[in-house]
Amino acid sequence: MERRDEDYPTLFERCNFWAVVRDEHDELIGFGYVCGMRLEHGYMEDIIVHPSYRKKGIGGQIVEALLQEARVIGLEVVTVTYDPTHESFYRRSGFLPGGGGVWRASI
């Protein structure tokens, strides 16, 4: 899937909250956010870490920061959809795979 940088301004308007990690030069190296309808359910998406910084715990720190904020604002359920190759990462972060959902593109 190609990058869609032009979507980020709208994304920031619509997401509940986000977390970022920057390097010592203030360059963005990690990002993630939770969106939803601001009720008791949120959807975590786009946990992204720059390739040069992967496997150093940054993704886990982003997820934990997002889950902590979810607790603070009272989200009871946080879900995430992920590529199966990332299942162990999300399991380590406390997510449990489950069935029961399907999705389709709106186009």
DSSP assignment of 9-60: HHHHHHEEEEEEEE-TTS-EEEEEEEEE-SSSEEEEEEEEE-GGGTTSSHHH
pLDDT of residue 90: 92
CB 87 within 8 A of CB 96: no
Q: What is the pLDDT of residues 73-105, one digit of tens each?
A: 888 888 888 888 999 999 999 988 877 666 666
CB 42 within 8 A of CB 36: yes
pLDDT of residue 64: 94
pLDDT of residue 73: 84
Q: What is the pLDDT of residues 20-78, one digit of tens each?
A: 899 999 998 998 989 876 668 888 887 999 999 999 999 999 999 999 998 888 888 88
